[in-house]
Every structure is written in structure tokens, then in C-alpha cells.
Chain A
Amino acid sequence: MNQQIVISGVGGQGVLFITGLLAKACMAKGSHVLTSETHGMAQRGGTVISHLKIGDYASPLIRPGNADLLIVLKSENLAQHRDFLNPRGKAVVNAQTTFEKSASTAITLDADKMAEDENNPGSVNLYMLGGALAVTQVCSLYDVKEQIKNRLQGKPEALLTGALNALDKGYNQII
């Protein structure tokens, strides 16, 4: 299955981290993956975007009107990056439920609030990834959990529990 996913946020939110998790989860299922990332100056709190293409592609960049899924970690970025979506594409946006009601493509998830309520402020990206996994078929919640376990091997147990919990909560909120 060819899939194109744009992940958008600001420097420090962990856009690259969840891009890597998704990419590796798809790779583990035998798919080819290509990503394009923002490094350097923009990572200092500026807008960060990553492109993830799963399947038979040569180019690492997604053209406007071609993305199947847009994950937005900072709601203000939706205006900037929504044009990446194809007409059937979906956006999962970190925002309060009242946000952008008019936009039928936008599914909201108040990840900031969930993270704050659970005292897990560094995991906003994982709540969002969990929510996105409820929308996309590209890989399963289980596939991503396996990657998180790999990635956090040897780290304190609480970190892993917190990460898996964030992923579950995000997923359950949308499903």
C-alpha cells in the first residue's frame, strides 16, 4: 500500500521521533520507506515538518494535494500545511474539540491537555501518534509499540510505561 504522510509541528515537539517510529514500524512489515526531515536552524522552536512515504517511491518529498494523512502537533500549522492533503486525506490535529469545526477533514485530539492531565508533557507527540494510528491503516498500534520498546530498551521502565500509555490514550480517544 502506497501511503504519504506529513507530520507537522514546531522544534522540540518530537516530530522526528514519531516519524522514525512510524517509518520503522512500516519497515518491519516489509515496506520500503522514505522520509524527509527538517534539521538545523528551524529546529530551534521554528516550524518543523517531516514527510513520510511508504511504498514504491523515489522522491522523498510529498507534493501538495498528495498526502493521505496529516498529523499536526501544533494547531496553528494546519493552515500552513493542510494543502498537502489529497481530497480524501485526513488531518489529525492537536487542538481542543471546538477547533476548526467547519473543516470536515480535521479530527481533533487535545493532546496538550491529555499530556498535562497525566503529567506527561514530553509525550504530546505520542498521544498524537496514537490518535493518528486510529485513522491510518499503514501499520497497527501494536507495530508502533514494538518500535517504542526497541527504542527505549535499557531506559528507565517508567519512560516506557509513560510512552505506551500516551500512545494508547491517544488511540482510544479517536477510535
Chain B
Amino acid sequence: MTQTDSKQLMLGNQALARGLVENGCRMATAYPGTPSSEILTSVAAWKKQEALDDMHVQWGINEKVSFEIAYAGSIAGLRCAVAMKQVGLNVASDPFMSAAYLGVKGGFLIISADDPGPHSSQTEQDSRLYAMSAKVPVLDPDSPEQARKMAKLGFELSEAFEIPVMIRPTTRVCHARQDVSLLPITAREKSAEFEKNPGRWAATPKFRYILHNQLEEKLKKIAAWEDTAPVCLNPSVQSDKAVVVAGVSAAHARDIIKELDLWDTVRLYQVFQPFPLHTAFVEQILSDHSDILVLEETTGVIEMQLARRDRVQGKKSGAVPETGELLPEIMEGIIAGFLSVEPKSAIMESKPGRRPTLCAGCPHRASFFAIKRAAPKGIYTSDIGCYTLGMNLGAVDTVLCMGAAISQAAGFAHAYTDDKRPPIVATMGDSTFFHSGVPALIDAVVQKAPFLLVILDNRTTAMTGNQPTPATGRGIMGEETVSVDIEKLVTGCGIDYCITADPMDYPNFLDHMKAAVAHARENGPAVLISRSPCVLSLSKETRKAQFQKVVVNDNCDGCGYCVSHFECPALVMDENAELVHIDTTLCTGCGVCVNVCPKKSIEIKISEV
């Protein structure tokens, strides 16, 4: 990393990671997911750069496992953190809820990154509601710089009250970049020491009740803790009206209120800890102001705690949209309306952009094309990952959540009677299979559910930036790890029919696909492992060696079959000539498309030597 002076241009996730490292975090775990993925890779980069040898950094197999590993480090007395995206917290919610009762020893941070919009998620859920539900304090950073500071604050809060603390950044904090100054790493010599106390760490329901009471007591004190108290950003102003902001909405509001010349007109309060909202702040703001506007993402968590419906406007009152990202132009209109001035910015009409697509040369495309050929009227359940984009090829009918492709396939299989059941094909990536596919597959074996599972094994977690999987054989630091054999895992789940084939060897692969679909219909669950590395992880040399020059010959009549059914971005319909041509800047020369054209108009050009 280049360092021209002490300042670095830092991604929010990098800044948050820097905060962890600066403040003596000793164990950090995560499962990747946009917008959180770069947090752990950044922690690993600093571990390497700063030679923090006794720090443990690892990808966990899923968010629950990641949480539990880091949590154990905390109850052994070390500062620890776990990072995930908001829907990852659903997976980790079980230990999260329980850990709130048991509390912590070393500072423990749960970083749950929300994605209002949503930009790259299946829900717009607000992790702060989870914090409320678990009765855990949550901090809401407005920028990369503040995210870094909140790592320190969070560890201190966590240790002061022996409670897990959530940091909830949103996409616009995680994926903002800002010039941030580096602070030195604070060395913490402490070593792990687990003090046995089964009454606490293995508490039975009777003691859980006591712990629950203690948790409530902690929360009352946290609602009075000075260090996280809200601040008024323009305290010299006296106004009947007030605006309350948190997270990135606070950053937007500062600019908007200045630009609308309202900085000296209305009091602006920033909340750092949306839950528990400071008791004194609630009393003060309700006594000082007759009209209060709350701007926050994504649910009205602060608004809810300002329990005066007659004075408080926000999401619940209908003044602020309850769905979608709270963009600054939307905020500007709301603030202007609240203070009876004219907004300066217009709302931009949303125009459709280019939809995302599987990369040219992606092995998933070949798999999906074979699935449609082998099971043309099938039900196609799928899952979370790049391969969700199989939807563009008409080869994905359902996407629910991580791991659901298998259980939903089983559900469809049980829903239909034997005589009416269409072929059912589930698709799931290798990383997702490890994450949460395994229990579902065991269940399908036990129930003899007749469907085919195609594991799209590209040896990586591609969508989130090519993180390793348990099969990769490499850890986050590049260190060698055990590589878990997917075939053995599948057969260990009780599957008898498990075939591995290469989708880029398409004709052969299609034969395997047809046989596997037929087998599954008659005999219960079968698995086809479609193995070919992600095109993004291929070396230049490999790409060059595999390249085949593909051309469109005179047979092409521009029917468009390849464009709509194979949907490779390198196959372009030339609207004027009504023919298809190859975009040579995108084509990887994988040659799979020669199997697609019904008129045999795509062919491999054998170079004359």
C-alpha cells in the first residue's frame, strides 16, 4: 500500500478494520457478504503489514460459526470481533441473542453491515432492530473515520458493561472512501485465560432469568453512559423544531442543512448509539422541542424510542419513506418541507441501467444451459451467489436465502405427487453448500426427496470478491489449510449418486446432467458437482492456454436464440445487420457457445500454423 503521508484513502470497511487493529483486537472472524466483505480482508492485510503474529484472523464457514469462535475468544478475555452482512446476522442470531444474556469478558464487537436500497441483498432489514431485540447496544457510524473511532468506543463500552456491542455501518459507510489518518497500534499483552463459571457460561433457564434482569440493569446504565451520548451539532441555536440524525443520514444532513442556509435556524442532533437511546436525551429533546424530525436508516429505531407520536415525525409517522435508501435528495425535500423552505435539488427519475450478468466465460452459464436442456420443464431452485444471475437465462425460479435451494427443492418434490412431479433441479455454489447446504442435503437423503442438486463448484466465493472456501486449501492470510473434499462430504451426507464433471467440456457434461436428472427422478436425491474454476481466478497463462478463437459464420440469421438462452455478454446482437457478432474484448474463448446455436453458426476457428 502506498503511503504518501500519514493519511490514507480508506474504504469504510478498511477504516473499521484499522480501528479493530489499532485497539488490540486479537481475534477477528467473518463470513463474506456485501457490503461487509472487505472488513476481514483489511484486518488480515494489517495483521501482515504490522506483523501482529498473535492475532487470529479467519473466514468462518458461516456467520453463526464465525460468531461463536470470536465470542469464545472474548470470554477467554481477549478483544474480539465478528463481521457479517445484515442477513448474515439472521444466521448468527441464535448465539447473538444468547450472548447478550451471558455477556463478555474481553471487548466483543458484532459488526453487522446493513444495505438500504437494497443494492446487493435480499432484504433491507435494520440490524439495529436485532440489537433492540437482543438488548444489546448498537453504534451507528456516519463515515469511514467515525467507523474507525467507533471500534475503539465499542470495545470500551463492551468492557465497561461486559456486554456484546454491535456496530452497524451501512453500504454508504462501508463503501465510502475518505482520507483517514493512521493511529499507532496499541499493543495488548493480555493472553487468553478462561475462568470457569458454569453458572454463567452454561447458565440453565433459572439463571437465565437472573441474567436477563442483569441485562436490563446494564441497559439502563448504558443509556446514561456519557461517551456514547448524542450531541447537538449547532448548540448555539435555539429552535422549537429539531432534527435528529444518525448514521450516514447524519453526514447527508450536515451538508444539506448548511446548503439550505438552515444551520443557524434549526437544532441538529446526532445520535451515535441508537439503542439504547440515552434517557436524558429523550427527556431533554422532548421538553425543549415541540416538533422533531428523525432521519435514520432503515427502520424508525430512534423514532420509536422518542415515544411522543404528536411531536415526532419520521418513518412511523409517514414523513419519511419506510422503504428504500434514504438518499440525500429525498432527505433534502423532507428537511425543506419540515422547515418550510424550498429544496434546491430535484429527485432524479430512476432509469433502468444495465442488469448484472454472469461474466463471459463463466462456467455457471454452461451448467445452467445444460440444466435447461436436460430438464426443460423443470423447477429450478437456486441460491445466493453469482449464480443467482442464472435468472437471466431462465434457469433460476426461486432464491430465498443461503442454503434454501436444497430444502426448497425437497419441499417442491414432496408437494407434488409422483405422477405430476416435474424434474426438480437445485443449484448452489460450493461456498453456500458449506455455509448451510449440508443439513438440508442430509434431510433430503433421509426423506428420499427426488431432485437433483447441482453444486456449482468454482473453488471460490466469487460474488463477494473471491474469498477462499473450505475446499480451497488456503486461508485468508494465504496460509495452507486442510482442503475439505466436497465429494466425500456429499457421500457422507448419505448420497449414493454423486458425479463430478466439467461444464466447460459441454457435450460430455450434458450427458452427465441428463443421466443425473433421470436418476434423481426415480431414486431420490442425486448430486452433480459441476467443477470448473471461476474465470476471474484464472491466471493470464491459463486463460491464454485455454483460448479458442470463436467466430460467427454465414449460417447466422440473427434469430437471437444464443443471446436470449445463453446470454453471454460477448455474444452481441447487431441490430442493424440482424446478425450476432462476437465482442472480442469480452470473449474469453471458452468455446462453450459453439454448442448453443441451433444452426451451427458459431464455430471455433482453427488457426493455421
Contact = CB atoms under 8 A, between A and B. Distances in A.
A150 B5 CA distance: 13
Interface in B230-267: 248, 250-252, 254-256
Interface of A: 10-12, 20, 23-24, 27-28, 32-47, 57-61, 63-66, 74, 76-77, 79-80, 83-84, 116, 121, 150-151, 153
Given A27-B7, A40-B119, A44-B357, A61 B172 contact: yes
Contacts of B172: 36, 60-61
Contacts of B329: 63-64
Interface in B317-359: 327-329, 332, 344-349, 351-359
B179 A42 contact: no
Contacts of A20: 9, 177
B142 interface: yes
A154 B328 CA distance: 41
B576 interface: no
Closest 9 pairs between A and B when the two form their complex, measured CB to CB: A47-B353, A40-B120, A40-B34, A46-B356, A60-B176, A64-B348, A63-B345, A35-B177, A44-B356
Contacts of B175: 36-39
B119 A38 contact: yes
A14 to B, nearest CB: 13
B386 interface: yes
B255 A59 contact: yes
Interface string B135-146: 000000011000
Contact of B357 (A27, A46, A80, A121): A46
A11 B143 CA distance: 25
Interface residues of B, number: 52
Contacts of A32: 178-179
B198 to A, nearest CB: 43
Given A35-B177, A42-B119, A65-B346, A57 B255 contact: yes
Given A23-B177, A84-B348, A121 B585 contact: yes
B441 to A, nearest CB: 26
A41 B255 contact: no
Nearest to A153: B2
Given A32-B179, A151-B2, 10 more contacts: A27-B179, A28-B4, A35-B177, A36-B177, A37-B11, A59-B255, A61-B172, A61-B328, A65-B344, A150-B4
26 contacts: A12-B359, A27-B9, A35-B176, A35-B178, A37-B176, A39-B120, A39-B175, A40-B119, A40-B464, A41-B120, A41-B389, A45-B354, A45-B356, A46-B353, A46-B354, A46-B356, A59-B248, A59-B256, A64-B347, A64-B348, A77-B353, A80-B352, A83-B346, A83-B348, A83-B349, A84-B348
Contacts of B143: 34, 58, 60
A36 B34 CA distance: 14
A58 B142 contact: yes
Contacts of B475: none
B551 interface: no
Nearest to A83: B348
B461 to A, nearest CB: 12
Contacts of B37: 39
A5 B456 CA distance: 40
Select the residue from B7, B34, B327, B354 with max chain A CB neighbours within 10 A.
B354
A88 to B, nearest CB: 15
A28 B2 CA distance: 12
Contact of B354 (A35, A64, A65, A76): A76
Contact of A34 (B176, B328, B345, B386): B176
Interface in B125-183: 142-143, 172, 175-179
B403 interface: no
A61 B120 contact: no
Contacts of B349: 83
Nearest to A8: B353
A127 to B, nearest CB: 14
B9 A58 contact: no
